[in-house]
Structure 1
Amino acid sequence: MASKRTLRQRALEILTRLKQHYPDSTCALQYQTPLQLLVATILSAQCTDERVNRVTPELFRRFPDAQALAMAPREEIETLIHSTGFYRNKAKHIQGACQKILTDFGGELPRTMPELLTLPGVARKTANVVLAHAFGINAGVTVDTHVKRLSRRLGLTEQEDPVRIEKDLMQLLPQSDWENWSIRLIAHGRAICEARKPRCDQCFLADLCPTAPLIQPASPKTKDKTKVPSQARA
């Protein structure tokens, strides 16, 4: 197992290349207010950003703020977000979060991790997205499926749990770049390092990736279970 110093140096080089190749990457979710970003991020669970962006314009037109969403008939919210999947739970979480924002935070979306985590449907991933993109606060590293998969493939963590992966990454990256890492690694996961067919021959990170020579494209029915072998881990 390589030292933390070696890991940190490699992580910083990866970050530098990601910034060079994806200079304009930003949050793909469309929103106008911090609350709308919160709602969109809740909707994005197990759903594509593109799908969420097709749903939210009408949702926000009908219910543009916390007051409107808190008072809306649950069935109407469910109908509007139905195509994002798990719509009943998502509607419940959105409405519960808005009600708590009204009763506990004076109608304003809180700006700290501990406060955001008290809202229904909000875990660290959602809170990190909102804090970083709505308020410019890097409280942690957003760990979605792309960040989890690629951080493991790149040998920067051996953890499976997103919270533990986040902790590892926070120790390797400067705080000012925590969200830069996530948003650009997501872009790379979509463009090149796909789950089933990673294009290692086209990857500008291949020389820094211990799994690049080892990954074989999985069959469509095979879930990605890439593991970094002990001798290649860094």
Structure 2
Amino acid sequence: MKKTTAKKATGVVKKPAATRASTRMSREEVREMFTRLRELNPHPKTELEYSSPFELLVAVALSAQATDVGVNKATRKLFPVANTAQAILALGEEGLKRYIATIGLFNAKAKNVIAACAILVEKYGGEVPADRAALEALPGVGRKTANVVLNTAFGQPTMAVDTHIFRVGNRTGLAPGKDVRAVEDGLLKVIPDEFLLDAHHWLILHGRYVCKARKPDCPQCVIRDLCHFRDKTVA
């Protein structure tokens, strides 16, 4: 999950012409798409490692400009030592940096995580609130991070649009949009309710491993015949 800075995301992502679909997918195609993705992976999960809403919040905050693999390597050392807001506050900013120094933008991220922990302790007893406004008020937490936490930790049918989902939404014709908010709103509108809770995970995994940016693996794609992308690869 990547962002250009450790600050809150602006929600503006330009749509490259090469990723545009020729037309939008029909309702029938959308339903069939998610039926196939569900059959392929009935219980999709985030690749970030966590065991509590707080651990997930920290992991997602650290994932800006970093890979899930890189974040997991850092949190495997951090969380056994400090996996609550109180414990990370006790580490302090410099102490936290020692655990996350391998992650991009770690200085800014450490500052934001410490500041967020202070608010969580002061206002919520160290617990992560299941509320969008409260989450987005935390330093370093934007709409995308809030959506991930609300969906993955609290089971809310939100849609966190990262670069992978933005690409898939536009390339397939599922939910074309000029920015991430437009794609998010489009996805929430067209995806049938029965698929919404897991849709975020299916789409991000599809974008990460199949519908890749430089060369999508169209020959191995389970929704190849449904996708409206004009320039499908053949090998």
Normalising by the residue count of structure 1, what TM-score does the alignment of the two structures yield?
0.83
Paired residue for 1:74? 93
Structure 2 residues not aligned, in runs of 5+: 1-21
Checking the alignment, whether the CA contact within 8 Å between 2:92 and 2:114 is kept in structure 1 is no
Moved more, 182-191 or 48-57: 182-191
Paired residue for 1:26? 45
1:96 aligns with 2:115: yes
How far apart, CA to CA, are the structure 2 residues paired with 1:104 and 1:176?
35
Checking the alignment, whether the CA contact within 8 Å between 2:219 and 2:233 is kept in structure 1 is no
Root mean square deviation, CA, Å: 2.0
Q: What's the % identity of the aligned pairs?
A: 39
Q: CA deviation at 1:62?
A: 2.2
Correspondence 1:22-61 to 2 at 5 A: 22-61=41-80
How far apart, CA to CA, are the structure 2 residues paired with 1:174 and 1:2?
19
Letter in 2 for 1:83: T
Q: CA deviation at 1:24?
A: 3.6
1:196 aligns with 2:218: no
Out of 140, 145, 170, the position equivalent to 1:152 is: 170
1:20-71 C-alpha deviation (Å, 9 max, x unpaired): 1122421111111110110001111121111111110211122221012123
Q: CA deviation at 1:176?
A: 4.8
Checking the alignment, whether the CA contact within 8 Å between 2:52 and 2:153 is kept in structure 1 is yes
Paired residue for 2:190? 172
Letter in 1 for 2:187: L
Letter in 2 for 1:125: K
- Higher RCO (C-alpha 8 Å, min separation 6): 2
How far apart, CA to CA, are the structure 2 residues paired with 1:182 and 1:74?
32
Paired residue for 2:102? 83
Checking the alignment, whether the CA contact within 8 Å between 2:23 and 2:228 is kept in structure 1 is no
Q: CA deviation at 1:175?
A: 4.2
Paired residue for 1:221? none
Checking the alignment, whether the CA contact within 8 Å between 1:7 and 1:172 is kept in structure 2 is no
Paired residue for 1:223? none
Structure 1 residues not aligned, in runs of 5+: 218-234
Q: How many residues align?
A: 213
Correspondence 1:123-162 to 2 at 5 A: 123-138=142-157, 140-162=158-180
Paired residue for 2:132? 113
Normalising by the residue count of structure 2, what TM-score does the alignment of the two structures yield?
0.83
Out of 214, 227, 230, the position equivalent to 2:231 is: 214
